[in-house]
A and B are shown apart, each in its own frame.
Chain A
Amino acid sequence: KAGVTQTPRYLIKTRGQQVTLSCSPISGHRSVSWYQQTPGQGLQFLFEYFSETQRNKGNFPGRFSGRQFSNSRSEMNVSTLELGDSALYLCASSLMWTENTEAFFGQGTRLTVV
């Protein structure tokens, strides 16, 4: 079956712009999580959605937002981009998100802010 699909794979934006990243989970998976990966900070949790509800949010400013649709696809949005937002953004999906279910990751979207 198809894995987690993130689009686009690469993105270049200018400071001050906004960006929307998309994640299509594995069919049947209802939990989608987002992570930011940078060389300096490593992997940091952004948010998690289950059945269109945000259940947990990481320590990121309000410029970072997300949502999940009824088909479990998720989008994250970053407004007023800063240079420090340059990162690999990873999406993970799981059947339900319990500690015992495996989270499957996509290949990520590489965002460069110039």
Chain B
Amino acid sequence: AQTVTQSQPEMSVQDAETVTLSCTYDTSENNYYLFWYKQPPSRQMILVIRQEAYKQQNATENRFSVNFQKAAKSFSLKISDSQLGDTAMYFCAFTAAGSYQLTFGKGTKLSVIP
């Protein structure tokens, strides 16, 4: 069974600053994918970024980037130039090849302070 751990229940950051959200996971699978999802107060989950485990290069999407350390089973999210609209719950998620399901961490509540 897979587990995903987010050790920071809450974080805050000043707007325009950079913040890093942590995520570790445990799996015996070799072929898997990792995701960061954002859930604003509207409750709709939105995919922020995706990382394939077989790719060594860290994924980047505009202001969002990840630090994927496969051996350490670590997958952190860095948000640069934080904006008020980044205020949300952030969930780290895992899926193994062929499993048809996402396993989520408990989430980190991020507040961007003006």
Contacts and interface: CB of A to CB of B under 8 A. Distances in A.
A107 B43 CA distance: 6
Contacts of A33: 100-102
Interface in A31-55: 31, 33, 35, 42-45, 48, 50, 55
Interface residues of A, number: 24
**Size class of B's contact patch?**
20 to 34
Among A45, A97, A99, max chain B CB count under 10 A is at A99
Interface string B94-112: 0101011111111100000
Contacts of B42: 107
Interface centre among A33, A103, A108 (most CB of B within 10 A): A103
B25 interface: no
Contact of A100 (B33, B37, B45): B33
B103 A45 contact: yes
Contacts of A106: 44
Interface of A: 31, 33, 35, 42-45, 48, 50, 55-56, 58, 88, 90, 92, 97, 99-100, 102-103, 105-108
10 contacts: A42-B105, A45-B101, A45-B103, A58-B101, A92-B102, A99-B33, A99-B52, A100-B52, A103-B102, A108-B44
